[in-house]
Chain A
C-alpha cells in the first residue's frame, strides 16, 4: 500500500518535472518566419534611439560626455536585487559581439528573450517590452546595428546570487510574467496616441524603470508607470502618470502633451529645471527622435490613467 503511494508520488513528480521542463523550453523565431525585405536604415536608427540601446550597451566611461553612443562594447554593471548583470557586447564584432548572429537570432532575442545558443536571457534585457516591437522595426534595428563599428572584447559573466543564476528558472518566470506579442493598435484611439503607445511600451520600454516590481522582479501591472524604487536601490523613479507629473509647485496641474515632448526633446521640465539622474542619459537618446514621434509620446503619456504607486521616502 505504502509502496504504491510512494510510486504514485514518484510518478507524479517525474511527470511534473517533464511537463515543467517542456513548458520552460526557450522559444525561438525560425528564419522561415522572416520574408525577404530590404531594410530601412533610417527607421533602424529611430528604433536604436527610442530603444535606448546605447544607454546600457555603449562602452562605459566615468566621464559620460566621452561615451560614444555607437561603440556598443558593453560592460556596464547593472546592480539589482538578484545580483550584478554585466551588459553584453552587441557591436557587430564576430567573436565578441553579435556579428555572427543571424537575423532570426536577433528577432529571437528581442521577441522571445532567447539567446542564439537556445538559452533564456535574463529580463534585465527588457524583452518583456521589446517583444511588442513590430517585426519590420526589429529587422531594421538589426540592419542598423550591423552598420556600427565592431568593438572587440567579451564582457565578463553576470554575478548573480543562487538560485537566480540558473537560466532555466527564467523559463518559469516567463510562464508567469512574459506574455503579449507585437503591439496591436487600439482602434478607439487616434493614430498619434497609438504611435505613442507603441513607442513607449515597445522600444522605449519606459515602464521598465517607471513601474514598481514584485519580489520576482516583474512589473506590477496595476501600478504600471506609477514609479517606484530604482532597480539599483539608489533613489526613486518618478510616477509618470498624470497623478505624478505636476507642472510645478505653483502650477499644480498635470503635464501637457507638449510638456512631455519638450522635456524629452531638450531636457527642461515645465518648471524650468533641467533633468537630473539617470534620465539625463535617456534624454540623450530621445533628443534625437523626430518631432512627430516626440509629440506622439507626449500625447500618449499625458493620456495615461492617473495611478498611485508606492509612496516615495520623504525627501532628505
Chain B
C-alpha cells in the first residue's frame, strides 16, 4: 500500500516536473493561479465574508512559499513568448533581481506563516506580502492584460 502511494507520488512529482520543463509558461500560470485562489480565501476572511480560520491562513502562506520556491526555475530562455504569457521580457534582462524577489517572497511567506495567530496578525502579514512582494513584482514584470 505504502509502496503504491510512493510510486504514484513519485510519478506525480516526475510528471509535474516534466510538465514544468515542457511548458514552463503553463506551469508559471498554474502557480500564480494557485496563489490567486489562496489569496481569494484570504481576502474573503479579511472582509469578514468567511470567518477567520487559522488552518486556512497557514495554507495560504505555505502555498505562497511553495510558489516562491518553484517559480525561479520556470523562466528558461525559450519561455519568453507564447501561451498568453503576461511575463514581461524585462524578466530575462533582470533575472538576478527576479530571483531575489522570489527569494524574498518565500522568506516573507514563511515568516508570516510562523507569526500568524489571529485575524489582525493575518491582515497585517497578508497586506505586507501583497504590497511588498506581489505588488513589487507585478509592477516591474507583469504585463497588464486587461
B102 within 8 A of A: no
A280 touches B135 (CB 8 A): yes
**Within the assembled complex, what's the spacing in Å between the Cα atoms of A259 and B44?**
9
Instruction: For chain B, give the interface size range.
Output: 20 to 34
B70 within 8 A of A: no
B12 within 8 A of A: no
Tell me the nearest residue of chain B to A258, going by C-beta: B47
B139 touches A276 (CB 8 A): yes
Tell me which of B3-11, B14-22, B109-117, B125-133 binds A: B125-133
Within 8 A of B (CB), among A252-284: 258-259, 262, 265-278, 280-281, 283
CB distance from B2 to the nearest CB of A (A): 36
A114 within 8 A of B: no
Residues on the A chain within 8 Å of B126, using CB: 266
A185 within 8 A of B: no
A268 touches B144 (CB 8 A): no
Main secondary structure of the interface of A (DSSP, over half): loop
Would you give the 0/1 interface string for B76-119, flagging 1 where the beta carbon is closer than 8 Å to chain A?
A: 00000000100000000000000000000000000000000000
Tell me the nearest residue of chain A to B38, going by C-beta: A272
B43 touches A64 (CB 8 A): no
A182 within 8 A of B: no
**Within the assembled complex, what's the spacing in Å between the Cα atoms of A287 and B47?**
15
Instruction: For chain A, give the interface size range.
Output: 20 to 34
Tell me the nearest residue of chain B to A280, going by C-beta: B139
B38 touches A274 (CB 8 A): no
B144 touches A277 (CB 8 A): yes
A3 within 8 A of B: no
B41 within 8 A of A: yes
A315 within 8 A of B: yes
Residues on the B chain within 8 Å of A64, using CB: 136, 139-140
Which of A65, A248, A274 has the most C-beta atoms of chain B within 10 angstroms of its own C-beta?
A: A274
Residues on the A chain within 8 Å of B49, using CB: 258
A178 within 8 A of B: no
Q: Do A275 and B135 form a contact, CB below 8 Å, given A267-B130, A315-B145?
A: yes
CB distance from A302 to the nearest CB of B (A): 13
CB distance from B104 to the nearest CB of A (A): 12
B42 touches A268 (CB 8 A): yes
A235 touches B144 (CB 8 A): yes
A273 touches B39 (CB 8 A): yes
Would you give the 0/1 interface string for A52-88, flagging 1 where the beta carbon is closer than 8 Å to chain B?
A: 0000000000011100000000000000000000000
Per CB-CB distance, the 4 closest pairs between chain A and chain B, nearest first, are A272-B40, A277-B144, A272-B39, A274-B134
A residues apposed to B, CB below 8 Å? 63-65, 235-236, 238, 248, 258-259, 262, 265-278, 280-281, 283, 287, 312, 315-316
A-B contact pairs, 30 of them (CB 8 A): A64-B139, A235-B146, A238-B146, A258-B48, A258-B49, A265-B127, A266-B126, A266-B127, A266-B131, A267-B130, A267-B134, A268-B39, A268-B43, A270-B40, A271-B36, A272-B35, A272-B36, A272-B40, A272-B41, A272-B42, A272-B43, A273-B39, A274-B36, A276-B139, A277-B146, A280-B135, A283-B135, A287-B131, A315-B84, A315-B145
Q: What 15 additional pairs, Cβ within 8 angstroms, besides A276-B144, A312-B146? A: A64-B139, A235-B146, A236-B146, A258-B49, A259-B47, A262-B47, A266-B131, A271-B36, A272-B35, A272-B43, A273-B36, A278-B144, A280-B135, A280-B139, A316-B145
